[in-house]
Structure 1
Amino acid sequence: MRPIRIIVAEDLDVLRNHFCQLIGREEDMNVVGQAASGKQVLQLLQEHEADIIVMDIEMDMKHDGIITAQKVLLSYPHLKIIFLTVHEDDETVFNAFETGAVDYVLKTSPPEEIIRSIRSSYDGIVQIRPEFSYKIKNEFSRIRRNEESLLKATIILSQMTPTELEIMELLLKDMKVAEIARFRQVEQSTIKSQINLILKKFNKKRSKEVTQMLRDLNIHQLIHKVRGGG
């Protein structure tokens, strides 16, 4: 049976040599190419057939590995990409997995973990390690909560009166009660009553809570369209 063909991409020579030696000691693995940048990875793929790319995220530029992974998988969808990195922050983890990479291993991981990741990835076994799985679960939970909040807020906005929508739009422009009253040429007490009705619909106590929620959900501009704007 032929060995697993691997490309190692790491911009630091000492680390690249270390990973190549580590992988090269395995009888069922063969390093077919070494790269110090994403550009070199793409060049190697034109010259060598590979099964797996073990790639750093930051090489000659920030997120070079992520950008390269996107390009690689468009042209070589059969390839398996394992990110080998020092980054553990949520955004980097999510961006890495969004490319279609099959694993994300820290450079500080024991050598046997890196080797195990290569074998598992080659066999089509994708196992997200515990230190990253909770990040992904939390992100899915956040997305689900946002979707529920988005649906609820959209329904409320669609049921608001034209006057309430106008006041909501003015609040989003950070106008005070007195300014809104002058703008609409009504008493401040009238504006306060109308704002209280809006707060009850959103089940909030302060207008800033409503405006912040709409901004967080990125639907604050929807009010203008609901009112018939362009």
Structure 2
Amino acid sequence: MKIIIADDHAVVRSGFMHILNYQNDMEVVATAADGLEAYDQVAKYQPDILLMDLSMPPGESGLIATGKIKEDFPNTKIVILTMYDDEEYLFHVLKNGASGYVLKNSPDEELLSAIRTVYDGGTYIHPSMATSLVRQFVKKDSGEVETDPYKILSKREIEVLPLVAKGYGNKEIAEMLYISVKTVEAHKSKLMEKLNLKSRPELVEYALRKKFLNF
């Protein structure tokens, strides 16, 4: 199977490449340092599997890239590799089209098993996250009301929203917009409140749905 590894740390990419290329049934055909590069590499190589880190600042995050890649290249199956043992992230990456969710502290055998399971058409969830997944799917719909962000958000909040969703930190956003870090924090808190969002994954999903990530 052809595999692409997307992670912002070169040493991590190198380590996983060594593990996967040692397998008789796996070949790493390319690597990427962020979501945008991952998209380009998938377009070029059309791999069977994309092994994707969830957080790759300051570039485009794996959470954002997963939805784009799955929409444009449905035959490429995505396995998320992350440090986040977080049910919110798990729920959102699965909704965005990922087929696997593996924690970075898992043994090599688990990663290999996850890749093979996904390649064969299955879904792999780290065992510790299975209960969280069930909890998320049995929750009743929150009844989110669709609102026009251009009517309820200030101009500055509209500028901050896509930057937060793309994974930039408060300091980076402050430098980009020539405002203080405290002002960024205030705008971020206010827009989350106005949009009734409780977590960053929810904000990312909202930004994707409203096309803010094209900014």
Using the size of structure 2 for normalisation, the TM-score is 0.63
**1:97 aligned residue:** 94
**Corresponding residue of 1:108:** 105
* Correspondence for 2:80 among 61, 80, 83: 83
Pair 1:11-2:8 in alignment: yes
Measured in 2, the distance between the counterparts of 1:64 and 1:23 equals 23
Question: Residues of 2 paired with 1:140 and 1:50: CA distance?
Answer: 30
**Structure 1 contact 36–60 (Cα < 8 Å) conserved:** no
- Equivalent residue, structure 2, for 1:24: 21
Distance 1:63 1:137 in 2: 29
Q: Give percent identity, aligned residues only.
A: 33
Offset at 1:136?
A: 1.4
> Is contact 2:101-2:124 (8 Å) kept?
no
Distance 2:135 2:46 in 1: 37
The answer on 1:65 being equivalent to 2:62 is yes
TM-score scaled by structure 1? 0.59
**Offset of residue 56 of structure 1:** 0.1
The 1-side partners of 2:108 and 2:76 are apart by: 22
Aligned counterparts of 2:83 and 2:140: Cα–Cα separation in 1: 26
Distance 1:127 1:58 in 2: 19
Residue in structure 2 matched with residue 47 of structure 1 by the alignment = 44
Aligned residues: 145
Retained in 1: the 8 A contact 2:4–2:28? yes
Contact 2:2 2:28 in 1 (8 A): yes
2:35 is matched with 38
Q: Distance in 2 between matches of 1:87 and 1:137?
A: 17
Measure how far apart 1:107 and its partner are. 0.5
Q: Classify the secondary structure of the residue corresponding to 1:96.
A: helix
Amino acid at match of 2:137: F
Larger CA Rg, structure 1 vs 2:
1
- For the pair 1:139 / 2:170, whether they are aligned, the reply is no
Q: CA deviation at 1:47?
A: 2.1
Using the TM superposition, give the Cα deviation of residue 131 of structure 1 relative to its aligned residue in structure 2, in angstroms.
Answer: 1.2
Alpha-carbon distance in 2 for matches of 1:94, 1:62: 22
Which structure carries more relative contact order (alpha carbon 8 Å, separation 6+)?
2
Distance in structure 2 (CA, Å) of the matches to 1:27 and 1:52:
15
Q: CA deviation at 1:96?
A: 1.3
